[in-house]
Each structure stands twice: as structure tokens, then as C-alpha cells.
Chains A and B, each alone.
Chain A
């Protein structure tokens, strides 16, 4: 009798506990989006990212193990602007998960509402290299776009899991408050370098540059996705000397050989700039990306002046 009662009580408890514990499974293409989704979703979500923060987000393999993750996902969040065009569409098709198909509630394009730069104003062709016809997809490198992404995610989470709306709203408020405080800190550190001219390896940093008032005068790649050529490298060396460029920003997944050579010829500094969460273990959330990059930039610019 007692056993029956205990059993019944246990069953009841388990029955009550399951729905409370069933977390929304959120899969994202980038670790940055996972970090923001985690901040907004709190303990109601379980996030996982497909690409690693230290990997070139343009060239991710469409591994079947990703199909498994997608088949169980309640929400898929992508950077959009065709950043994932090389691997995600066939994975979504093979996921057997209708929820996450574009157009359904379980598919969210995080670029919605963000400040997107470099939207082509003329007809694009591949003679321009690996151009993105919908604009530059590295938009999360502006923290204000991070704020927009957080709001978009909070709204969508509330749609998929209406009972969590209050929690998502309060998590979002906390994220935004922290972001505002952090932005003041980053702005203060970067203010002395407003107007500084920089060179980057790839066209990944226009949003970062706009936010912190830097001027990108050239890229080490002659065209997006095309590796450095001797002629172009020479042009960049001259440009750096003429424009008094202090730093070259290079993502961890690009070859340092050419940037290092340019630095040797010109005296400028090559800085490894991490575009994403997880680029190194210390960068473990979205704020960490800017904490690291801002400090690295400031350190490299010491003694270089702004012009």
C-alpha cells in the first residue's frame, strides 16, 4: 500500500517534472548566436552551435553529424545573408525536421533588423571574388547588432515557447543592460583611436570599424576569398606607408605569412582578431569577443598615434 502510494507520488512528480525540464533545443550556425540565445533563453534553452569560433564560417563542411543535431532542434538560428549557403541548405533538407525549414517558426535569420553594410549597389558578378549579394554577413562584430539579434531571438523564443515570455523578457533586459555598460567601456578604450586607418585580411570588419570609427583602407586579399597576390601585396605595402596604417587585423583561420611579411616591410603590427565566441577558450561569450579584440587593438596601437 505504502509502496503504491510512493510509486504514485513518484510518477506524479516525474510527470510534473518532465515538462518543466524539457528545454527548447536551439541550434545555431555560429557560436556567437548560441551565446546570445543562451543569454536570452537562460535555463529554458539548450544551445549548440554547428561551426566552431576558430573556424572560417564560410567554409564549414556539411557533416552528417550536423543532421542529427538539426533533426532534434526546436529552433535553428542562422546568420543569414548567404553566409551558410555552402553547407546548411542540404542539411536542413535532410534533417526530417519540418519546424526548422525557412518560413517556419523554428527558422530564424538573425540578420533581420540589423545594420547590414556593403549591400551591393550595382550588379554583382563573381569577377568581384566571393561577394555576398545581400550585404556583408559579418555584422555581429558591431555590438549594437548584437542587441538587435538578442531582441529578435527573445521575440522568437516567446513565440515558440509562450510560457517563457516573462523569463525571456527579463533575460533580455539583463543582457541589454550589461551590453550598454560594456559598450561604454569599449567606446572609452577605443575613443583615442577614432579615425585610425587600418588594413584587414578579409572583408570581415566593416561593422566593427564603423562602430569604433576606424577607417579600413585596404584588405590583404585582393578580392574576397582570393588569396594574396604579389602585386596586390606590394600595393598594400605602399598603401600602409602612405596612409600611415598602424595595424593589420587577421582572423585566426587565415595564413599569417603575407600579413607578417607586410608588417616586416612596413613596421605595422599584425593583430589576431577573433570574430567569434570560442575563437580561443578565454572568449567564452559574446561580450568576450569585444573584450578581447578591443584590448588587443589598444595594445597594438600604443605609441602609433591615430594617423
Chain B
């Protein structure tokens, strides 16, 4: 009851915010709208109605993600070759107050809305509100689409502690506020109230079962070429093992980027790491499980990157099972719009009653080809 009230209150606040956002700013002198240069008319076009009606169509993009695997892995047994994901992006401004972004994820046989949300961009009080289905701001990697990851696969802590490769995707309301700090340090607090289910992670047995996430992010330029991005997250939701049992999640993420601006097209490096903690109430007591990954990527030339990753994670439902792994990657970008990546990966899967001895080791090679067509909006940093 209390929880459904919280959700309703959040929505009410949002509506009030939008209304205020529409009324509060003093009437700015109506500007001559900056004329957008007309797109080049296709040959033989006469202009007119059909062209005009196309004008407000959203930007459309498709990103293909082809994955081939070699080696053996009986536990994560992905097919030898698959068009793992075709992500269709549809993005446009809705009206003076909001924009909408849809990312529809097609597998070879199924389809799901990976994200579909409205963002209110002109609210007062430095607020940014999103409503809809979205990747949850829990840690950093969880917010990223498959095609922007520096690896062809998700790291173990996401798989073992966030319910699988998909990670935590939720439906609800997200509110982000800038928190002023001295100097030019960016700081933002995000609060998210969501329906209490996410594949493999949360299960909502009734409407009032909600999931919550809080994320605090700090970003500072250490110099022209180096910056540091830090995040703290706390999530909570029903895990469905029995009524009112919950899983609480915590995460710390850090990303250090180096890109000398003059030579930035040819040399750069990123060091990133995340630590996850899961506290899951279930029959037989509470399971405390943790996991982490650490990854470094180095750009050798305009189109070449190498990377290395270490990872380890216990299982959310059984902390005695601990998986570990290492991977090296080599990535080649023929252009900004296509990318070829190879990964050599070893994963050692823990057996049911083993703490440190590996029960199963998989050595694999992953080959990924990604390609984008259309106008895909730039991704948040």
C-alpha cells in the first residue's frame, strides 16, 4: 500500500514538475527559429506534402551484432554463430518538453523492448525525468547497450548478480538531479522507482511489489586529457523466493580515461572496474555474494584497440559457487560504423560445493562483427 503510494506520489511530482516547467520561465522573446538546412532533395523530387510529412519521422538506426564462437562451454552454451541482436533505434523530440528514445532488440526469433522512454528535458530545479522502460543506472556497464561494451560479452558480476546477460532492465520512473559541488566537478543523484521485476533478478507477485535504485555519479576532469568517473549505486527489489523476501544490491564503479586531445584520434586508454554486492533473502537465510571486474583498453592506432579483462563473481543464490575468468580482446574499426572484435576467454566455473577449486574450465574464442546503419544518436559518455 505504502509502496504503491510512493509510486503514485512520484508520478504526481513529475506531472507537477512538468506543469511548473511549462509555466515558470519568463516569456523569452520568441526567437526566429534557426532554420534547419533542408535535407538534400532526392533526384526527381517535387517536394510538397509527402516530403513534409516525412520530416518529423524519428531518426532510425539498426545495429547488427553477429557473434561466432569457438571452443567448448557446456555451461554458457551459446550457438556457434548467431545474429545475436539487431537493435533498432527510433529517436525523436516529442514536443517542446520531452524527447523519446526507443531501442527494440530483435533476437533471431524473438523481440523485446530493451528501452523505450520519454525524457522530460525542460523541468525546473535541475531535474531530468525519464518515464518508461530503461536500463537501470546500477553501476556503469549495466547502463550500456551491448554494442557499446568494450567486449563481446557481459562480465561475470552482471551475469551472476544481476540476473543474466541482459542485466537489470526496469519499467518505471527515473529522476536525476544535478548536485552542485565546488569547482567544475559534475555530480548527479538519480532515484528510480520501478515495477518490481527484472528477468532472473526480481519477481513482482503483486502490483505493490516495487524495485528501487539510487545512483550517485561524480565526474571530474583531472586534466585536459584525463578524467575520472565514479559511481555508487544501491538497489532493492523483491526476489520472489517467498512473499516479502528481498534482494539488496550495491555497486561501486570507477572509470579512468586518458585521451591526449591532440593525438586523441590515435592514442587513448580506458581503465574501468566495478564491484557488486548482492544480499539475497531466501529460504534458509540470507546469501551475501559479491563480484567484480577490472578491464583496461588501449588504443594502438586510429582503428585498433587491445584490451584485457579480469573478472570473478559468486552466484546470487549460492555464494559458495564462485566463477572467475580472464579475457583479452583485439578490436578493429574499419570505420566509425563497423567494428570487428576477437576475444580469447577463459572462464572457470565453480562447482556446487567448491569455494576455490574450479569445477569446470571453458576456453573459448569469440568473434564479433557489429555494424550500424542509419542515424544512431550519440550515446551518453
Q: Chain A: residues with CB nearer than 8 A to chain B? A: 52, 54-56, 59, 61-65, 67-69, 71, 80-81, 85-90, 93-94, 96, 98-99, 101-109, 111-112, 119-124, 126, 129-130, 133-135, 159, 225-227, 252-255
Contacts and interface: CB of A to CB of B under 8 A. Distances in A.
A90 B148 CA distance: 16
Interface residues of B, number: 55
Given A99-B28, A123-B42, A227-B303, A93 B37 contact: no
B108 interface: no
Contacts of B217: 64
- Interface class of chain B by DSSP: loop
A96 B335 contact: no
A210 B233 CA distance: 55
Contact of B221 (A62, A63, A87): A63
Given A104-B31, A253-B263, A122 B378 contact: no
B378 A89 contact: yes
Given A56-B264, A98-B25, A101-B122, 15 more contacts: A54-B261, A55-B261, A62-B379, A64-B217, A96-B127, A98-B21, A98-B96, A98-B121, A98-B122, A101-B96, A103-B31, A105-B30, A123-B42, A126-B335, A255-B265
B40 A121 contact: yes
B123 A65 contact: no
A212 B99 CA distance: 44
Interface in B106-146: 119, 121-123, 126-128
Contacts of A67: 178, 186
Interface in B183-242: 184-186, 188, 217, 219-221, 224, 227, 229
A99 B229 CA distance: 28
A304 B145 CA distance: 54
B380 interface: yes
Interface of B: 21, 25, 28-31, 33-37, 39-40, 42-43, 96, 99, 119, 121-123, 126-128, 178, 184-186, 188, 217, 219-221, 224, 227, 229, 257, 259, 261-266, 302-303, 335-337, 373, 377-381
Contacts of A62: 378-381
A54 B265 CA distance: 12
Given A64-B381, A71-B178, A159-B31, A123 B224 contact: no
B378 A87 contact: yes
Contact of B261 (A52, A64, A134): A52
10 contacts: A67-B178, A68-B186, A81-B37, A87-B378, A89-B378, A90-B378, A93-B121, A98-B122, A124-B40, A225-B336
Contacts of A107: 34
Contacts of A134: 37, 39
B227 A65 contact: yes
A252 B262 contact: yes
Given A64-B219, A81-B37, A255 B302 contact: yes
B345 to A, nearest CB: 28
B184 A65 contact: yes
B378 A108 contact: no
Contact of B380 (A54, A90, A98): A90
B126 A71 contact: yes
A198 to B, nearest CB: 22
